[in-house]
Amino acid sequence: MDKVALFPGSFDPITVGHESIVYRSLSLFDKVIVAIGYNANKKAFFSIEKRMAMIRQVFANEPRVEVISYEGLTVDLCNRLEVRYILRGLRTSADFEFERAIAQVNKLMHPNIETIFMLTAPQHTPVNSTIIRDILLHNGNPSQFIPSAINIKDYL
């Protein structure tokens, strides 16, 4: 049976940190589904369509990566898709504390689902989408933090 992981997040926009987690996880899983969480009450910088297009462009040559969007609880999506593994990246101890609570509550409610954590590559620890949005908002150039397959200006 294929081992499939769901990598959920906002990806607003995708960063080199996200890209690296996906590629590294492909040595553990047969397929990785990048799932963009959609929250109707939260205003995003990039539309869902643009975020999906960006991620598809990054993994255009990797048939084992699929990109979808979803609304609601990640565990419900996992059960719907019959996926048993949630993949999350960890940068700092703050990430760890935040993720620990979610993963442990998920474990109590859905014991069939495992959350797998991957520590960020050292050079990606400070990279996050919030800072990239801030750079873009002020007409800076964040290209070193964005996967090289994308020209972020094409999506503005």
CB of 90 to ligand ADP, least distance (A): 6
Cβ-based nearer residue to ligand ADP, 81 or 119: 119
CB of 3 to ligand ADP, least distance (A): 19
Report yes or no: 21 and 120 within 8 Å, Cβ to Cβ. yes
Quick one: how far is CA 15 from the chain centroid?
9
Question: Out of 4, 6, 21, 34, which residue is the one contacting ligand ADP (CB under 6 A)?
Answer: 21
Pairing of strands 4-9, 31-38: parallel
Q: Does 10 bind ligand ADP (CB under 6 A)?
A: yes
The residue type found at 94 is: A
Record the tokens describing residue 96, joined without a space.
């760890």
> How far apart, in whole angstroms, are the C-alpha atoms of residue 113 and residue 23?
22
Contact range with ligand ADP by CB under 6 A, out of 25-33, 47-55, 83-91, 101-109: 83-91
CB of 133 to ligand ADP, least distance (A): 11
89 lies in the binding site for ligand ADP (CB under 6 A): yes
Q: How far is the CB of 8 from ligand ADP (least distance, A)?
A: 6
DSSP-derived 3-state class of residue 125: coil
On the 0-12 / 13-18 / 19+ scale of CB atoms within 10 A, 59 is buried
Residues that bind ligand ADP (CB under 6 A): 9-11, 15, 17-18, 21, 88-89, 91, 95, 120, 124, 127-129
